[in-house]
Chain A
């Protein structure tokens, strides 16, 4: 298992992906410290261009864009790191539950169908409205939007695993159902779920941005890449760096995660 991971990470794609993500994580963790400017400090100079004091210029209420962008990555990483594992856990759990009993499977399938029937934007909007916008709402929305994907993947993997001969073999030597699940089925299910993980991370970032677009994302004054993009895109003609800097970072993050998931997938298919 570990061998496969390290092989995935060491493949050219995996390496590029890891580097990109690592770079962003470093920027998010240490960037604000090095820069030493508060992302909340407002000033008179609004929408100023890049200068010595404000390397990327300022936003519409005179806050430093670089500081906000760096903090924005932080928000997004945090959202990803909370929402996606949660969705993966929940989805896998539900998927497994659905794979174990016929009825459970039917019910899960319907629930997932209903969730999938809603478009992400609409589901996100509804969630954010129901539980007032903010971090919790964004995370909940992302979890609900991405859970069916994990659920279906887990269910499919489970069904595939259950018919595997080595699973039957474990039963015949007397391993209990629980042990078989834990020992033989879960690790392989986890494997196929992990491949989905990175893609979902990338998606989560996009969902956050989409919610921000309709004002239901991370709430001000806290910055996030999504809120900055949606706020900055209206100044794209006078202050292009406002929107483009977070877009670039977002694209880098998505790209890195996509590359990583690609690498993992390729490694997984190779066995």
Chain B
């Protein structure tokens, strides 16, 4: 048995490597020729063949894979087929938008989750929170986004319907652009988090050490804060980690619906245009984020529950 952290890191690397193969294979399996997408509707077969040649698309697949992987590892994933520019440049242009969106989601996710969870577990707001959580869960993002935009942008005109502004350029405006997509992203995942938290809160409240705290004369508020809540956060953190990992994927939909130009849109476009190097790189990025989020989750978990690292099970 290897020590804990190196073992985790190794398995993360293994996952990434396997993913790179899957990603590569998946795109090649997708019918449709990148060269045809570039050549456009009125191109002749010869034009397409010339482009294929130029893009080295007729090289053997293993060599294409190694070429790309080698580039990725040395920080140069190549040139985008559709934009004919270095992928790193394109990423640099779009990453800000997605990071802002993801941050908005990440910030809002635990807020929605915590509020829902605490409300669900409380006696006073339980019923209302239950209704809210069920609704949030039942409505897919693509529906809630349309409703949110209709309400806040078209009818009330208090928030922009879509688009973006760099946070660094104008923080106050940027936040307004981020509010609706952030909420739309955070709602369903937040509801899941909330329910999970509520269940955990109820379970932890039943745990014996809470009785010890009561017997010490600890007031209920302090018990909730110091004993019950930390004890309930484990699964919350895990789910939150998964949630972060999914944000980049979720950005695909959110960016489409809110007319943002980030990595999600880039990913959708590049897959649709069979921009292989671009799509592969973006997909790997998404997977890496998910894997990293999971690792991060485990770091937090060991903090929350010191037993885990030593392999002690409860």
Physical contact A–B (CB less than 8 Å): yes
Q: Which residues of A contact B (CB under 8 A)?
A: 109-111, 113-114, 116-122, 125-126, 129-130, 132, 202, 206, 209-210, 213-214, 229-230, 233, 236-237, 243, 247, 250-252, 254-255, 258-259
Give Cα A129 to B22, complex, Å. Answer: 15
| Cβ contact within 8 Å between A236 and B146 | yes
| Cβ contact within 8 Å between A254 and B137 | yes
Known A-B contacts: A121-B253, A129-B30. Give 11 more (CB < 8 A): A110-B15, A111-B18, A120-B246, A121-B250, A122-B249, A132-B31, A206-B140, A213-B142, A233-B146, A243-B146, A254-B137
Q: A236-B150, A254-B138 are in contact. Are A118 and B283 (CB under 8 A)?
A: yes
A227, chain B: closest CB distance, angstroms: 12
Q: Which residues of A contact B143 (CB under 8 A)?
A: 209, 229, 233, 243, 247, 250
Give Cα A230 to B143, complex, Å. Answer: 8
Q: Mark B265-307, 1 if CB is under 8 A from A, else 0.
A: 0011001000000000001001100110000000000000000
Is B308's beta carbon under 8 Å from chain A?
Answer: no
Is B245's beta carbon under 8 Å from chain A?
Answer: yes
| Cβ contact within 8 Å between A117 and B287 | yes
Give Cα A125 to B253, complex, Å. Answer: 12
Give Cα A137 to B9, complex, Å. Answer: 34
Q: Which residues of A contact B246 (CB under 8 A)?
A: 119-120
Is B122's beta carbon under 8 Å from chain A?
Answer: no
Is B158's beta carbon under 8 Å from chain A?
Answer: no
| Cβ contact within 8 Å between A118 and B287 | yes
Q: Which residues of B contact A210 (CB under 8 A)?
A: 140-142, 253
Q: Which residues of B contact A206 (CB under 8 A)?
A: 140
| Cβ contact within 8 Å between A110 and B290 | no
Q: Which residues of B contact A (CB under 8 A)?
A: 11, 14-15, 18-19, 22, 26-27, 29-32, 134-135, 137-143, 146, 150, 154, 242, 245-246, 248-250, 252-253, 256, 267-268, 271, 283, 286-287, 290-291
Q: Which residues of B contact A247 (CB under 8 A)?
A: 139, 143
Pick from B31, B140, B242: contact of A250, CB under 8 Å: B140
Q: Which residues of A contact B146 (CB under 8 A)?
A: 233, 236, 243
Pick from A117, A202, A251: contact of B135, CB under 8 Å: A251
Q: Which residues of A contact B138 (CB under 8 A)?
A: 202, 250-252, 254-255, 258
| Cβ contact within 8 Å between A213 and B253 | yes
24 A-B pairs in the complex with CB atoms less than 8 angstroms apart: A109-B11, A110-B18, A113-B291, A117-B286, A117-B290, A119-B246, A119-B248, A119-B250, A119-B252, A120-B246, A120-B249, A121-B249, A121-B253, A122-B249, A122-B252, A125-B268, A129-B271, A132-B31, A209-B143, A229-B140, A237-B150, A250-B140, A250-B143, A255-B134
Pick from A109, A113, A130, A236: contact of B30, CB under 8 Å: A130
| Cβ contact within 8 Å between B137 and A233 | no
A193, chain B: closest CB distance, angstroms: 18
A208, chain B: closest CB distance, angstroms: 10
Most buried by B among A109, A111, A122, A209: A122
Q: Which residues of B contact A229 (CB under 8 A)?
A: 140, 142-143
Pick from B31, B134, B253: contact of A129, CB under 8 Å: B31
| Cβ contact within 8 Å between A122 and B18 | no
| Cβ contact within 8 Å between B142 and A258 | no
Q: Which residues of B contact A259 (CB under 8 A)?
A: 134
Q: Which residues of B contact A114 (CB under 8 A)?
A: 15, 18-19, 22, 287
Give Cα A121 to B3, complex, Å. Answer: 36
Q: Which residues of A contact B290 (CB under 8 A)?
A: 116-117, 119
| Cβ contact within 8 Å between A258 and B19 | no
| Cβ contact within 8 Å between A117 and B245 | yes
B212, chain A: closest CB distance, angstroms: 24
Give Cα A234 to B232, complex, Å. Answer: 42
Give Cα A233 to B287, complex, Å. Answer: 31
Pick from A117, A130, A132, A213: contact of B15, CB under 8 Å: A117
Q: Which residues of A contact B291 (CB under 8 A)?
A: 113, 117
A231, chain B: closest CB distance, angstroms: 12
| Cβ contact within 8 Å between A214 and B268 | yes
Pick from B11, B135, B271: contact of A125, CB under 8 Å: B271
A146, chain B: closest CB distance, angstroms: 14
A205, chain B: closest CB distance, angstroms: 8
Give Cα A233 to B250, complex, Å. Answer: 19
Q: A117-B15, A254-B137, A258-B134 are in contact. Are A126 and B30 (CB under 8 A)?
A: yes
| Cβ contact within 8 Å between B135 and A119 | no
Q: A122-B286, A214-B268 are in contact. Are A209 and B142 (CB under 8 A)?
A: yes
Pick from B15, B134, B249: contact of A113, CB under 8 Å: B15
> Which chain B residue has the least Cβ–Cβ distance from A255?
B138
> Which chain A residue has the least Cβ–Cβ distance from B250?
A119
> Which chain B residue has the least Cβ–Cβ distance from A247?
B143
Q: A209-B142, A247-B139, A250-B138 are in contact. Are A121 and B252 (CB under 8 A)?
A: yes
Give Cα A129 to B26, complex, Å. Answer: 9
> Which chain A residue has the least Cβ–Cβ distance from B283?
A122
